[in-house]
Structure 1
């Protein structure tokens, strides 16, 4: 596999647009991931990628995206790679403990998230450090695959907003659609590659967080900024789907609280 001379040929085969410019130095382990994942996706899926011009080619940045399937990190990784950036995704710590895959993604520079533990802040510090070093950090603010019945983004956690406001880096909203047709994570564990599904991804312009700059970084401010970010992701997903996103995003915490109250009432 080559790093640039085959781009036009691949675009002709897959229908993708290419993004001009030199590729970043990827290192052995990330190069191994690219060598495995990219040909697989080009063979078994179609790509409809747009908005690459909104992804900065250099400098620290955070991209935030919706989570619809266990398959979409591969799609997002390819998209960002085609934007001439190396993505550093925050992912569940359990993935990093897998015998072979864990070694690969750790060595490829991905960032483990240790939830509800003394190491929970390590991912945040690593993400801030990466951004300050000019890297491209990816965050799934929902923290899990969406439970919204119609597949829209849910309310998000505040990590991406905190990173952006602490570092001053741009936040790029990226929406993806189609990965759930390959791997419907809550509809059984079946992978459906045929007929080939189209992976649609779009990046929007940077989220305007100017209203929050220069203010004390409180929990209230972070939640407000996160709401702005998640609605921008929903808007981009609306463009992909040709639909209008909901005005109020699905709140998993509220939904679980309602379910718990209902169960308590039923057991009385």
Structure 2
């Protein structure tokens, strides 16, 4: 039986139970660095994004360790029948990406951190467009939240979810052998020199924090893959690609 660090809504427990059962059936985990996850107080978790199923493996691991991750989820999900109802009743935070309302999510996330929650932000903002699935350029939400709250930022790299469900695929690739999910939690990102009353949140500080977060995620993924990432992170705008959604179709995913 999982002992939760913070109050967890019944709906959250129900959905987590269903998803844990499903993930056990199709995936096996190889986890390193779990000792870097704080055991007290709120913290930010910043994973790379390679598949629509990749929130489940590391969330499964954290849930088994007593954490109930609070996701900053895209607004369109909250408009989806059933899914939206579940998200609202499972204490998740809505983010209206690429709109003036996007920043409205940060105060909600800050309150969750103050309450000792694990808050999750995918700093890429969407599935990576990098041809080789390396982390692409980061968006500033995670950095802003970290600088405003001083909460530790734990970078997470994962490799394997894309084998179960490739980018923007609608059907999983099931096989006789469960798909290996490699998950690596990194040491907290060093942002101490950018936080505090004597280090105001300037554009330069936000950009520096964002770069450090993305560099930390990339470093952990390099350890999993045994390869070196490109020296320049992929920028969708520079390649004429949509910032969010399926860049190969008109779908908003």
User: Which residues of structure 2 form unaligned runs of 5+?
Assistant: 242-253
Write the mapping of 1:171-250 to structure 2, written as runs, cut at 5 A: 171-186=153-168, 188-195=169-176, 196-213=178-195, 214-250=198-234
What's the CA shift string for 1:112-168, capped at 9, x where partnerless?
111244532221111111112221100001000000011100111111111111111
Aligned to 2:23: 41
Where in structure 1 are there 5+ consecutive unaligned residues?
5-21, 258-268
Partner of 1:99: 81
Match of 1:109 in 2: 91
Matched, 1:28 2:10: yes
SS at match of 1:37: helix
Please list the CA deviations of residues 38-85 of structure 1 after superposition, one character each: whole Å capped at 9, or x if unmatched. Answer: 011111111112211111122011010101011111223212212321
1:253 and 2:237 are equivalent in the alignment: yes
SS class of match (1:131): helix
- SS for the counterpart of 1:47 is strand
Report the CA distance between 1:238 and its aligned residue. Answer: 0.8
Q: Would you say how many aligned residue pairs link Structure 1 and Structure 2?
A: 237
Supply the RMSD in Å over aligned alpha carbons.
1.6
| Range with greater deviation from structure 2 (158-167 or 74-83) | 74-83
Q: Distance in 1 between matches of 2:40 and 2:26?
A: 31
Q: Distance in 2 between matches of 1:211 and 1:148?
A: 31
1:63 aligns with 2:45: yes
| More helix, by proportion | 1
SS of the counterpart of 2:163? helix
* Contact kept? 1:209, 1:225, Cα under 8 Å: yes
Compare 64-73 and 238-247 and name the one that shifted more: 238-247
Ranges of 4+ aligned residues in structure 1 off by more than 4 Å: none
Structure 2 residue corresponding to 1:54, chosen from 14, 18, 36:
36
* Whole-Å separation in 1 of the counterparts to 2:39 and 2:72: 20
TM-score scaled to structure 2, two decimals? 0.88
